[in-house]
Structure 1
Amino acid sequence: MMGRRALYKMLTTSLVAAQQVFLPTDGPTERPQCSCTDDSEPTYSFTSFSYTLTTTVRYATSVPSPSSTTTYAAPPESLATLIPPQSYTTWGRWDPNATAPANDTNDLYGRASWTALWEYANPPNFTETGILSTTVEPTPVPSAELVLPPRDYFGPADCYRFPEGFEFGVSSSASQIEGATAEEGKTPSLMDILVRDDRAKAYVTNEHYYYYKQDIERVAAMGVKHFSFSIAWTRILPFALPGTPVNQEGIDHYNDVIDFIIEKGMVPEITLLHFDTPLQFFGDNLTEAAAPPDIGYVNGAYQNETFPDAFVSYAKVAMTHFADRVATWYTFNEPLLYSHNGQSIYNVLQAHARVYHFYKDELKGQGKLALKFNNNFGVPRDQDSPADVYAADHFNSFQLGPFCNPIFLGKDYPESYKITIHDHVPLTPEDLEYMNGTADFLGIDPYTATVIAPPVPGEKASILECAADYESPYRPYCVNQTTVDVHGWNIGYRSQTYVYITPTYLRSYLSYLWNTWRAPVTLAEFGFPVYGEADKELTDQLLDSPRSVYYLSFMSEVLKAIWEDGVRVIGAFAWSYSDNWEFGDYDAHFGIQTVNRTTQERRYKKSFFDLVDFMKARGVE
């Protein structure tokens, strides 16, 4: 067994190799691309003046209609035998002001029981003020909306192209865009009760549930090939648990969404759980949902003993209905952030592995399956400080290692996790064998970077002391996280929230991921909320140059990682295709389209055009 000193040396050596290095220099920036050495002076003269317009009007190019379709599994009717017989029903809409109660109280899963779930959840300030109540048929996007905006003066000047098959798309999640919160059979989830203050709630969001065809039409009109979204578990199985009735309206809805994505020439990709855990897993005390977890930011109830079986059952129902048309499946979105304790981590690993084996071994799925991980890449505050380098490695390995070690390497949790989470569930050799190789790529949401140092500057021991102390304010990561480097500069231009524009660190991060877990990497989400965008006039929201800088600089570094560092990056998905409810309010605008929630009008932002143009110019389909 490798000793801790040897392990530390190996990890820090590999981490340093992936870090950005400060290169001291004197004088201004050199310009090696400027080979002209002519020292002559300019010649001045007079000419006749005229107003000459040199603007070229360019248009976005829509995705062409498909000439054939790809299937990734047998049709649903052939897969039905892979799961127990299901009952299908519908429930309708919850009206908290209804005067006539449901009278089917003897039916364990009837209308009365369905209504009782909403009454128990008692969502705060519940209102349904949307303007839509049925699916809106799409209208073609007028060419006037597809005129590209003026270019920024400075822009990427690389000569690289993306490898064949590189997947470029947009992403979203159900609770952040769908609306129709208590309609067509959906029951409450964590997202319906989590925010209990004066902030805006997700009851309307973008009304994508009824407006999905127009949203898909607009994305296709911009030439984007891949459309990633999540399914709401409580729309498929309102009572969540195995053996409970399937909501036929939920199945029909997502069938329509998938079919229309394909009809418009795009490829559907699905996330099964994007934070919206059904309330059943919180038991009789909903206040536990808001209790601070030991590991993540929110208690997602993954630690519930019934959760793994229920999640696997839900995944099987979804896959047997949709797998023939879905190219990529994500089981969990950023599971660390909603993990309460060590049991949560273990349950996610087990549930994910079981779904993978079902999809590959029983359903014979030909698509891809993975997870989406969070990680604001930790960079050492001072790369010349062994303590800072150790802290950065501790931070990064804690965020990713508990999942990536067993899934990609068949190895145990990292030491950073085991010494900190004292109730972690040990992984047996049988566990590791079953979990190993259960992801086709590493999905990562690399929004930004974080500057890392030990809790006590220069003292590696302070990290270990924190790990042993459950009362330490630095838990669970046991490091000091800032945004300021050793020279006192912020690491990038700041957005409204936690995101900083950190493209050079992204390149280092991709190298770290590829060389540590040796799996292809997909940027499953990445995006940028421009500072104060919600307070700007619409015309200023649309001309979002800082977001363009974010996307184009990040993708420029992805190209360098591919061609100069040998990192296999296979896809990138912009978060999000439109502004959405950002788990508490609507002010953090991550979208590449605006949304007027009174009229439901969408408008393309400049960054959407710039990003698509960048990708198309470099060979992406």
Structure 2
Amino acid sequence: MSEKFLWGSATAAYQCEGAWDADGKGLGEWDVFSHGNPLNINGATGDVSCDFYHRYEEDIDLMKASGQNTYRFSISWARIIPEGIGAVNQQGIDFYNRVIDYCLLNGIEPNVTLFHYDLPNALAEQGGWANRTIVDAFAEYARVCFKAFGDRVKLWVTINELRYYAYCSNIVGNYPPNHKQDFQRYFTVIYHEVLASAKAVKIYKSLELKGEIGIAHDSCNVEVDTITKNPERVKLIAENFYNNLILDTAINGVLPASLILQLQEFGIDTSFMKFDDTFDFREGTIDFLGLNVYNRYYVTDSSDEPTEVFHNNKGAGSSMKEGIRIKGWFENSFDLTTQRNLWGREIYPQCMYDTLFDIKNKYGDIPVYITENGHGCYETADENGYVEDDERIAMMQAYIDKMLEAKSEGCNVKGYYAWSTMDLYSWVNGYEKRYGLVRVDFDDKRLPRYPKKSFYWYKELVSSII
């Protein structure tokens, strides 16, 4: 793997591939959810999406044209092992071999994620990540992928956004299996994710493949509002909720003791944590950390109001600001001077700098890749299909400036991935919320691609730094 700084972009399998039932692919949890669940509020599906499955060469050609030297994408578990365990689908292996080989042919380093939200439905029906049996199922799936692609793929991510996936699935309830405020399940799911990730890392290292393996964690900078009465207590509780179960185990190989006590005091049954797992954590520490950086977690004391989740999947149709109140623990504070996107999420470039230094101060010099950073918005193309997305450019430039500032001051940042390569399915937000550097015209069955203004901005930025 090259030591040069990596500049690229990212996608995820269900969000861009389409071909949802093609060539032996198994049924996925999101296939079932998007096809009939009333909680799929926009009615959109990933059945076709960008049709990356058939258009990958065109999309990789565009990456090359913009000067990108890496591409982060995920593998669909159900495309490789249709039932989640058991028989391997050779046609799925063949597809990802084609993608990997075409990347390498064009000088683009593949960065491959094993799990990005899309669970095989057969496993979902058995309890998904809340069922401990998934740990070994994931480990075996990882082994299949390492053996099939590990000779060429030198950067691996086990699981994308372990916390945010568990949060949306079990606290917000907008992602399948749509549990709401189920804190028992939330912590059980994260624990099984970190254990499965550690087992996969252990397998990867046992195969003596020449590469690196890590996880991708969502924005992790916890900042305590100055009005907070018990700032040290609030910060520790919030760090345990957002970060420590994932980062302490993945980087240091140990469970945070304060978290276990906190969960027990909160009434969480911690019997899902087994003593023997400590050996897997110790032997399955990561080589690098991926960070998906969008916002900070701005927190203060919990009020006496009931636990409540604030989440907006309606965009401009809602004024709700993203956040949570957990009675007895903490709640999110809202800085009225900070800009937010139309989905209620804070736009706060300083969090890029703060997050990188948080990691350096807590975990030392571990290599970090910014595995996602981008801006979702509504867009209107001109008569030629061109989008002048100045808002995206300004936002991303501000975050990149903060990343480069942290890098110049000693943070071990190795790469940056724009989210996303092209417009794609944005989960329950459907297709109106767009992130791409390339516009996809979803109203045209041919799905033509149109590079946006941000595409050319990114090309210039990369060429000026590389």
TM-score higher than 0.5: yes
> CA–CA distance in 1 between the matches of 2:145 and 2:5?
26
Deviations 1:197-253 (Å, cap 9, x if unpaired)? 352111110000000111111111111000111111111111221xx2211211111
2:72 partner SS: strand
Counterpart check, 1:579 vs 2:423: yes
Change (3 A) 1:444 1:325: same
Q: Aligned to 1:302, what secondary structure does the other structure show?
A: helix
Q: 1:569 aligns with which of 401, 405, 413?
A: 413
Give the alignment of 1:309-328 within 5 angstroms: 309-328=136-155
Residue of structure 2 in register with 1:377 after alignment: 221
For 1:180, what is the secondary structure of its paired residue? Answer: coil
Counterpart of 1:546 in structure 2 is 391
Following the alignment from structure 1 to structure 2, what is the Cα–Cα distance between the partners of residues 516 and 178? 37
SS at match of 1:369: strand
State the 1:478 CA deviation.
Answer: 3.6
Residue matched to 1:401: 244
| Equivalent position of 2:161 in the other structure | 334
The answer to whether the 8 A contact 2:245-2:259 is kept is no
- Indicate the structure (1 or 2) with the bigger Cα radius of gyration: 1
Partner residue in 2 for 1:355 = 200
State whether structure 2 residue 276 is matched by structure 1 residue 449: no
Cα distance in 1 for partners of 2:68, 2:50 equals 20
Residue number in structure 1 paired with 2:21:
182
Residue of structure 2 aligned with 1:415, choices 234, 254, 258:
258
Deviation at 1:283, TM superposition (A): 2.8
**1:590 equivalent in structure 2:** 435
Residues paired across the two proteins, number: 420
1:427, CA displacement in angstroms?
A: 5.4
Shift of 1:414: 5.5
Write the letter of the residue equivalent to 2:147.
T
Partner AA of 1:504 in structure 2: Q
Counterpart CA distance in 1 for 2:437 and 2:80 is: 29
The alignment partner of 1:577 has SS state of: coil
Who is 2:176 aligned against?
A: none
Could you tell me how far 1:416 is from its partner in structure 2? 4.6
The range that moved more, 172-181 or 185-194, is: 185-194
- Which of 272, 276, 284 aligns to 2:118? It is 276
Give the Å deviation of 1:378.
3.2
2:102 to 252, 260, 284: 260
Asked whether the 8 Å contact 1:551–1:611 carries over to 2, the reply is no
1:167 maps to a residue whose letter is L
What is residue 404 of structure 2 aligned with on the other side?
A: 559
Partner Cα distance (1:477, 1:606) in 2: 47
Question: CA shift at 1:592, angstroms?
Answer: 0.9
Distance 1:224 1:425, change over 3 A: farther
* One-letter amino acid matched to 2:289: L
Match of 1:481 among 332, 352, 356: 332
**1:514 is matched with which residue?**
360
Q: Gaps (5+ residues) in structure 2?
A: 167-184, 308-323
TM-superposition CA deviations, 1:2-58 (whole Å, max 9, x none) = xxxxxxxxxxxxxxxxxxxxxxxxxxxxxxxxxxxxxxxxxxxxxxxxxxxxxxxxx
* Counterpart in the other structure of 1:296: none
C-alpha spacing 1:314/1:428, structure 2 compared with 1 (3 Å)? closer
Q: Which runs of 5+ in 1 are unaligned?
A: 1-69, 72-163, 289-300, 457-461, 467-472
2:45 equivalent in structure 1: 201
CA distance in 2, matches of 1:272, 1:412: 23
Native 8 Å contact 2:389 2:454 kept in 1: yes
1:225 and 1:265 in contact (8 A); partners too: yes
Contact 1:552 / 1:614 at 8 angstroms: preserved in 2? no
Q: Give the aligned partner of residue 136 of structure 1.
A: none
* Larger proportion of helix: 2
Q: Would the aligned equivalents of 1:503 and 1:554 in 2 still touch at CA under 8 Å? A: yes
440, 452, 458: which one aligns with 1:611 = 458
Deviation at 1:388, TM superposition (A): 4.6
- Sort the Cα spacing of 1:255 and 1:343 in 2 relative to 1 into closer, same or farther, 3 A: same
**What is the CA distance between 1:572 and its match in structure 2?**
1.1
SS at match of 1:444: strand
TM-score of the pair, normalised by structure 1? 0.63
Name the aligned partner's letter for residue 331 of structure 2. Answer: N
Misfit runs of 4+, over 6 Å: 538-541
Conserved? CA contact 1:281–1:306, under 8 Å:
no
Q: CA deviation at 1:275?
A: 0.6
How far did residue 303 of structure 1 move?
A: 1.8
2:95 aligned partner, one-letter code: H
Is contact 1:343-1:425 (8 Å) kept?
no
CA distance in 1, matches of 2:298, 2:376: 20
Whole-angstrom distance in 2 between the partners of 1:439 and 1:613: 33
In the TM superposition, residue 392 of structure 1 has moved relative to its aligned partner by 4.1
Q: Which is worse superposed, 397-406 or 535-544? A: 535-544
Distance in 2 between the 1:476 and 1:248 partners? 49
User: Is the Cα contact below 8 Å between 1:185 and 1:247 reproduced in 2?
Assistant: yes
CA distance in 1, matches of 2:75, 2:194: 20
What's the % identity of the aligned pairs? 26
Does the CA contact (< 8 Å) of 1:391 and 1:454 recur in 2?
yes
Aligned-residue CA RMSD (Å): 2.7
* Change over 3 Å in CA distance of 1:414–1:171 after alignment to 2: farther
Q: CA deviation at 1:343?
A: 3.1
1:243-302 deviation line (CA, Å, top 9, x unaligned): x22112111111111111111111111111111111112337xxx7xxxxxxxxxxxx21
1:149-188 Cα offsets, whole Å, 9 max, x none, are xxxxxxxxxxxxxxx6222211110000000111111111
Report the Cα offset of residue 538 of structure 1. 6.4
- CA 1:451/1:327 → structure 2, altered by over 3 Å: closer, same or farther? same
CA distance in 2, matches of 1:578, 1:476: 40
Q: Which amino acid counterpart does residue 358 of structure 2 have in structure 1?
A: Y
Q: Secondary structure at the match of 2:447?
A: coil
**How far apart, in 1, do the equivalents of 2:240 and 2:383 lie?**
42
Question: What is the CA distance between 1:562 and its match in structure 2?
Answer: 1.6
